[in-house]
Chain A
């Protein structure tokens, strides 16, 4: 399976999903004009990846400092997808990275964390510029 790389733009995050290392990373801001269109290939890739996934430990690193409402819905769907995969035996951990000065990013992380049941979800404070 090929890795998924999407370069960041002013209004969309950088995405780097590495299926060999099982590290999925997404960072930046997310307010694309059409969130459904932007995230469609991401969900498509994830669907195929999760379908072929075994017992390997997957690490999902997210550092999204600002996102619009459509993107937050897309993130909810993303976490639902991982949550469902965990329920059926996959090993996935999400690290929600936020700048400790950005209270909103932390509180949003808490909302996402509370929405999932079986998916391990860590809130990780880290300075700006850190991966």
Chain B
């Protein structure tokens, strides 16, 4: 953009100053007045420039705040406030890379609300939403370390990511997650499993994340463990442990 329109006054100050300089020296009797006038203009414009910068900063600050808010919104599940699937994929990939660097243990838990369709059919979708929110809050409250998190995987499925957690700790944590949901004691009259809302959990851990370890293998193991927890009667956690050799091979860092 050409500044000549907006900055006409600034350019005029320069033009006049240049004219004064080019005029015959030593300065004539009117020169003092000219310089005073120039100085007044310059002061005025300098003040204005300061205000413009302050205004610009305020506007930018507003945009920054909005940007942060939008980033939060785009990474959160609207209903439960947990990380959404997009955020899960990002954070999971980050934690996985960190685990590779540290050659640490890594664990995942897939969590599924038992007979959730029946819950919705019995109590309605509004109650279903409340149930999802309560379960999400109970799961999130159970995790304690900052690197651990739980995300809404989709529908009534959640995933807990537990970096640096070896298998023994994982089973303990999976049981805590299960117990936390059971302790909510949300009535579920049509559940064949219990009179209240329960979850099944499939936990999988990798003893040590090697450079060529494959995250999707770990995800599949957690999925398979969840399937077994369901097959064994639900409201329980089933764990699988992978040794590093079992979890190597090509593959991308996404779960499915």
Kindly name the residue among B4, B47, B51, B62 whose own CB sees the greatest number of chain A CB atoms within 10 A. B51
Tally of contacts, chain A with chain B, CB under 8 A: 56
Chain A residue nearest to B8 (CB atoms) is A77
Chain A residue nearest to B48 (CB atoms) is A76
Contacting B59 at CB < 8 Å: which of A36, A66, A80? A66
Given known A-B contacts A73-B7, A115-B47, A115-B48, A108 and B55 have beta carbons under 8 A apart = yes
Please name all residues of chain B whose beta carbon is closer than 8 Å to the beta carbon of A112 when the two chains form the complex.
51
Q: Does B5 contact A (CB under 8 A)?
A: yes
Please name all residues of chain A whose beta carbon is closer than 8 Å to the beta carbon of B36 when the two chains form the complex.
none
CB-contacts of B153-191 with A (<8 A) = none
Please name all residues of chain B whose beta carbon is closer than 8 Å to the beta carbon of A73 when the two chains form the complex.
6-7, 52
B116 to chain A, nearest CB (A): 40
Q: Does B1 contact A (CB under 8 A)?
A: yes
Chain B residue nearest to A109 (CB atoms) is B55
Please name all residues of chain A whose beta carbon is closer than 8 Å to the beta carbon of B15 when the two chains form the complex.
none
CB-contacts of B1-51 with A (<8 A) = 1-9, 47-48, 51
Where chain A touches its partner, the secondary structure class is helix
Contacting B58 at CB < 8 Å: which of A40, A70, A108? A108
Interchain CB contact under 8 A, B51 and A67: no
Count of residues in B whose CB is under 8 Å from the partner chain: 20
Interchain CB contact under 8 A, A111 and B1: no
CB-contacts of A1-51 with B (<8 A) = 33-37, 39-40, 43
Interchain CB contact under 8 A, B1 and A34: yes
Contacting A67 at CB < 8 Å: which of B4, B54, B59? B59
Contacting A69 at CB < 8 Å: which of B8, B9, B56, B61? B56
Count of residues in A whose CB is under 8 Å from the partner chain: 26
Interchain CB contact under 8 A, A69 and B52: yes
Contacting A72 at CB < 8 Å: which of B1, B4, B7, B55? B55
Please name all residues of chain A whose beta carbon is closer than 8 Å to the beta carbon of B4 when the two chains form the complex.
36
Please name all residues of chain A whose beta carbon is closer than 8 Å to the beta carbon of B8 when the two chains form the complex.
77
Residues on A facing B (Cβ under 8 Å): 33-37, 39-40, 43, 66-70, 72-74, 76-77, 80, 104, 107-108, 111-112, 114-115
Known contacts A108-B58, A112-B51, A115-B51; 16 further A-B pairs (Cβ under 8 A): A34-B1, A35-B1, A35-B6, A36-B2, A36-B4, A36-B5, A36-B6, A37-B5, A69-B55, A72-B52, A72-B55, A73-B52, A74-B6, A107-B58, A108-B55, A114-B51
